[in-house]
Amino acid sequence: MSEPATDQGQISLSELFFQPEELQKRVEALGGRAFHARILREQVLKNGVLNYADMTALSARLRDGFAQEHPILSCTEISRIVAEDGTTKLLLRLPGAADKEDTVETVHIPSHRRDADAGATLCVSTQVGCAVACPFCASGRLGLRRNLEAHEILEQYLMGRAMGKLSRSVVMGIGEPMHNYKNTLAALRVVHEELGMGARKITVSSVGFPDRLRAAAQDKPPFQLAISLHTPFDEERDELVPAMKGIPIEDVLAAGDDWFGVTGREVTYEYVLLGGTNDTHAHAHTLAQRLHGRRCTVNLIPYNPVAGMGYARPRGEDVEAFKESLIEQGLVATVRWSRGLEQDAACGQLRLRS
């Protein structure tokens, strides 16, 4: 698919895209001119070319020089799982990783629709591990190792696009995007402006730190927001989302309202249904009360069990009843059943197993 990734110390072309002056210097050092830097950028970002050999608009000297010094991508694919429905999960090794734990996952999910042009949804990661440590989620189990660089986030899109046209993306892989906001925003600006993905087609999911959300809204970022709520009860949320301990749900909802006010884009509230834990009638009733009058959607996610974490998949009828209860109480609610790869699908599970 692409040329080999960086050796230790080599800087990839994707990284140079975030340092335009440096890119230009390197082009000039190989006898190129400023517009050649623009061509390199367009070839990769606009046209999806991942081999220098295919960049025939450039001189052989420039192509060969870059090929030797600057691999296009710095991440390498170390394994790939393809489910029957075509959902494909890539496990990626990050540049310079000595440790097998320095891996992240990207999932390419083809559309259900028959229309071949419908494109796929890409689920991307923003961190190696996660500091939020939700007790049901595989991603936080090993703690946080490091933030991804902007180009490492962008590379997931470049590799994902090489597997088939992308129409949407969700930043719902490993990591808490608001803990790595600067790099996430820098990557998504390129995805929006140069890969051409509409802001309403990109969703960033966060546990919802109110101050960070308010600051982010001021950037007019090119994405929609999803907030992982998981329960309408404060004490239970302190347990389910430990990094939010002590922050009242009311403050999170108020930050969601402000997000809508500033960006004009409705918030989605995500709710992982954990069988026998937060899928009761009382939860649905109280959730609806708390969200009453807000323009938002509730996205119910039936839990995909992770071995050893002590939480269960909800029963199908309880999922339906929860959804119906929200709808009866005037909310917009959808259920997101996980696609393909059932055994290893949830965030961070492939990484834990490798």
Q: Smallest distance from the beta carbon of 137 to ligand SAH, in angstroms?
A: 4
Of these, 50, 72, 137, 284, which contacts ligand SAH (CB under 6 A)?
137
When asked if residue 104 is in the footprint of ligand SAH (CB under 6 A), the reply is: no
- Annotated catalytic residue 123: no
User: What type of residue sits at position 297?
Assistant: T
Q: Smallest distance from the beta carbon of 293 to ligand SAH, in angstroms?
A: 23
User: Rounded to whole angstroms, how far apart are CA atoms 160 and 271?
Assistant: 26
User: Rounded to whole angstroms, how far apart are CA atoms 184 and 148?
Assistant: 8
Q: Smallest distance from the beta carbon of 77 to ligand SAH, in angstroms?
A: 21
Q: Find the binding residues for ligand SAH in span 237-276 (CB under 6 A).
A: 270, 272
Which is the catalytic residue, given 123, 134, 296, 347?
347
Asked whether the beta carbons of 82 and 107 are under 8 A apart, the reply is: no
Which residue, 169 or 304, has its beta carbon nearer to ligand SAH?
304
- Annotated catalytic residue 236: no
Asked whether the beta carbons of 111 and 40 are under 8 A apart, the reply is: no
Which residue, 3 or 211, has its beta carbon nearer to ligand SAH?
211
Asked whether the beta carbons of 241 and 228 are under 8 A apart, the reply is: yes
When asked if residue 147 is in the footprint of ligand SAH (CB under 6 A), the reply is: no
Which residue, 6 or 103, has its beta carbon nearer to ligand SAH?
103
When asked if residue 206 is in the footprint of ligand SAH (CB under 6 A), the reply is: yes
Per DSSP, which regions of the chain are E strands?
76-82, 88-93, 103-110, 120-123, 127-129, 144-147, 166-171, 202-206, 224-228, 267-273, 296-302, 332-335
Q: Smallest distance from the beta carbon of 126 to ligand SAH, in angstroms?
A: 8
Which is the catalytic residue, given 15, 105, 152, 176?
105
**DSSP one-letter string for 85-121:** TS-EEEEEEPTT--STT-EEEEEEEE-SSS-GGG-EE
Provide the 3-class DSSP secondary structure of residue 70. coil
User: Rounded to whole angstroms, how far apart are CA atoms 4 and 22?
Assistant: 22
Q: Smallest distance from the beta carbon of 190 to ligand SAH, in angstroms?
A: 20
Which residue, 44 or 296, has its beta carbon nearer to ligand SAH?
296
When asked if residue 228 is in the footprint of ligand SAH (CB under 6 A), the reply is: yes
Which residue, 76 or 206, has its beta carbon nearer to ligand SAH?
206
Asked whether the beta carbons of 191 and 201 are under 8 A apart, the reply is: no
Binding residues vs ligand SAH (CB under 6 A): 132, 134, 137, 172, 176, 205-207, 228, 270, 272, 301, 303-304, 306, 346-347
